[in-house]
Amino acid sequence: MTKKPYRLLAPGPVPLPKAVQAALSRPILHHRTPEFEKILTGCLHRLKDVFQTKHYVILHASTGSGGMESALLNIVQPGDEVLCVVSGKFGERWAKMANTYGAIVHTLNVEWGSPVDVDHVQNLLKQYPDIKAVFTQVCETSTATVHSIKELAERVHATSSALVAVDAITAMGCMNLPMDEWGLDVVVAGSQKAFMLPTGLSFVGFSERAWQVCQKNPQPRFYFDWRPELAANEKSQTFFSSPGTHLMALDVVLKEFESFGFHNIVRRGHHLAEATRQGAKALGLDLFSKAPADSVTAIAMPEGVDSQKIRSWLETEHNITVMGGQDQLKGKIIRVGHMGDITDEDMLVFFECLAQGLSREDRLPVVQKIVREELAKAAKAFQ
């Protein structure tokens, strides 16, 4: 039997467009060449457009968590009070990281699957007026929940002088996140999610206020220090060897964002997510999140169905990769990603298999109709 085509529907890494794969197989270009320097400056410039900032965006050869560490090291020093919104696995990461570097961490625990209540954030800032920075996710990937970041930032700035630092690893590149307009001080993104690249690049945007804090921050740091990085960028270089191949591919992605129109990319993603949400409901399933994100959807499994079993059955029998739940959500949900080069066929085959796995084939015609309608809207985003 021939193996079925591989369908990657995870919230990162994601399937890469052909043009990106082609860029990744180009011969190595040395980073001290005019041709490369042009690619680097072009990428840095276009990243600012995606982040919608006039201020600073740098990149690191690291995974997304490296970008988070970069954010933390440059704006926080040991003994600083920080507030971490913990609404899932990645929120826990902020708290652990801040703790590791000697910050005094106040955590705002949010029920998994719920968005953060900005009143609670404001109350904590009043209670602890020395909080220097608020760390949160934009989309908490482990629960597929999107927070109201615009309101959160507004509330923080109205209440205190704390910086707002967001992990936008499954938000930047697939949702409208105007950094300057919303008053976001640090924004972290990663290559293997909406940027449709292999794992290994992180992007960090920061405001003028964050830059001022960074310059005075005595916290020891070396690899992730923004100061030499920015100085190198001004000379069309990076602080260390540039991840050249990744950057050639990033160049392709950012030019694609530009030529399709970034708002169309966002629109397409929204309809893919909507197709998944509507399709799941038509299959008689509930969404886990109370504020579903457009980058990833968490579908709750019916009582008595172990999502881990469905997940591994999809993988072994159908060559489809989706993610399960972590910790308290283990066995309860499957998470389907909407980022990257996902085809209509990927979506339709996924629902066909899911219906089969749950013995709900009778509902499939209705599901397919609904999914196809949303996919048609997604396609229109690019016309």
Q: Which residues bind ligand PLP (CB under 6 A)?
A: 12, 63-65, 90, 137, 141, 167, 169-170, 190, 199
Q: How far is the CB of 90 from ligand PLP (least distance, A)?
A: 4
Nearest residue (CB) to ligand PLP, 199 versus 236:
199
Place of tokens 């490369």: 36
Q: How far is the CB of 190 from ligand PLP (least distance, A)?
A: 5
Task: Evaluate whether 152 touches 300 at the Cβ level (below 8 Å).
Answer: no
Closest residue to ligand PLP, based on beta-carbon distance? 64
Q: How far is the CB of 109 from ligand PLP (least distance, A)?
A: 17
Q: How far is the CB of 51 from ligand PLP (least distance, A)?
A: 16
Nearest residue (CB) to ligand PLP, 204 versus 355:
204
Q: How far apart are CA 355 and CA 365, in angstroms?
A: 10
Q: How far is the CB of 322 from ligand PLP (least distance, A)?
A: 15
Nearest residue (CB) to ligand PLP, 115 versus 190:
190
Nearest residue (CB) to ligand PLP, 110 versus 364:
110
Q: HSE, CB side, 13 Å, CA atoms: give it for residue 281.
A: 8
Task: Evaluate whether 195 touches 250 at the Cβ level (below 8 Å).
Answer: yes
Q: How far is the CB of 296 from ligand PLP (least distance, A)?
A: 8
Nearest residue (CB) to ligand PLP, 12 versus 183:
12
Nearest residue (CB) to ligand PLP, 170 versus 297:
170
Q: How far is the CB of 61 from ligand PLP (least distance, A)?
A: 12
Q: How far is the CB of 68 from ligand PLP (least distance, A)?
A: 6
Nearest residue (CB) to ligand PLP, 64 versus 243:
64
Nearest residue (CB) to ligand PLP, 69 versus 229:
69
Q: How far is the CB of 89 from ligand PLP (least distance, A)?
A: 8
Nearest residue (CB) to ligand PLP, 169 versus 282:
169
245 alpha-carbon distance from chain centroid: 21
